[in-house]
């Protein structure tokens, strides 16, 4: 049996240092703080970005919500699709769009804006051409390009003309059985070509027999 310790007294090791106990208690907290600081630093460094080079003879102007690309064939102006977390800036001869948010929808939005700028640069330097063909087997079709529309006559023998709207600054030329749509804005050119196809859409007829219409046959850079 050991010696009985009187109540109210505590056992104390004379060799134990209180300062050492305080240091040990603070050691874990310091490491945790350093780990948190490192995580914050890494988050600040990580950034998703994409760039597009601006060729010679092309100028790009950037505002908060718009960009304007000017070149030999003209100029294209378009709104950015940005959020508060996405930043667009001009760095030397490049356009950079970046964000500290690496979520999938943010990356997709950055890619979309870069694609718009690339299309605008291609438009003001090379232009876009969509070629469509008029096809008919029952009734001869007459196509005439006017200022803001294309008039399609005698389609399927109809007495009423069909109208396709020309969008923006797109140009439409009739070359025999082909319709050539050109312009520097890919969206306007594409929408004009789509309007021509939609104007000759057949409803209420067997498409295996009635294949009359206007169909896209090629698209690419303007020659």
User: pLDDT of 136-152, one tens digit each?
Assistant: 887 899 999 998 999 99
Is 31 strand, coil or helix?
A: helix
* Separation of alpha carbons 150 and 126, rounded Å: 25
What is the domain-level CATH number for residue 66? 3.90.930.12
Count of domains observed in the chain: 2
**pLDDT recorded at residue 6:** 55
Is the domain of 136 the same as that of 215?
A: yes
Of 108, 125, 142, which one is at a domain's C-terminal end?
125
Is the domain of 184 the same as that of 112?
A: no
Write out the residue range of the structural domain in which residue 59 sits. 48-125
Looking at the domain assignment, is residue 210 inside a domain?
yes
Of 69, 95, 125, which one is at a domain's C-terminal end?
125
DSSP summary character for residue 147: S
Which of 14-28, 54-68, 108-122 has the least mean pLDDT?
14-28
How many CA atoms lie within 13 Å of 183's alpha carbon, on the beta-carbon side? 19
Nearest in space to 69 (alpha carbons), one of 85, 53, 50, 81: 53
Is the domain of 75 the same as that of 135?
A: no
DSSP summary character for residue 4: P
Is the domain of 82 the same as that of 144?
A: no
Looking at the domain assignment, is residue 146 inside a domain?
yes
Q: What is the pLDDT of residues 27-65, one digit of tens each?
A: 555 566 565 555 544 444 568 889 999 999 999 998 878
Is the domain of 155 the same as that of 172?
A: yes
Looking at the domain assignment, is residue 14 inside a domain?
no
Of 83, 104, 125, which one is at a domain's C-terminal end?
125
Tokens of 48: 């998703």
Looking at the domain assignment, is residue 31 inside a domain?
no
């Amino acid at each position: 049996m050991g010696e009985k310790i009187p109540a109210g007294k505590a056992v104390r090791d004379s060799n134990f240092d209180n300062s050492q106990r305080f240091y040990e208690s603070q050691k874990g907290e310091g490491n945790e703080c350093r780990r948190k600081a490192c995580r914050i630093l890494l988050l600040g460094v990580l950034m998703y970005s994409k760039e597009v080079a601006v060729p010679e003879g092309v100028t790009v102007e950037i505002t908060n919500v718009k960009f304007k690309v000017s070149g030999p064939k003209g100029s294209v102006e378009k709104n950015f699709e940005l959020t508060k977390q996405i930043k667009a800036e001009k760095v030397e001869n490049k356009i950079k769009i970046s964000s500290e948010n690496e979520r999938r929808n943010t990356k997709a939005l950055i890619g979309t804006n870069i694609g718009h700028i690339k299309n605008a640069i291609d438009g003001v330097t090379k232009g876009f051409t969509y070629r469509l063909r008029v096809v008919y087997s029952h009734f001869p079709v007459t196509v005439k390009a006017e200022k803001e529309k294309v008039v399609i006559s005698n389609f399927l023998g109809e007495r009423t003309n069909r109208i396709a709207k020309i969008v923006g600054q797109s140009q439409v030329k009739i070359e025999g059985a082909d319709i050539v749509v050109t312009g520097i804005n890919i969206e306007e050119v594409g929408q004009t070509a789509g309007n021509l196809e939609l104007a000759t859409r057949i409803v209420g007829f067997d498409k295996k027999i009635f294949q009359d219409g206007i169909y896209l046959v090629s698209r690419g850079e303007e020659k």
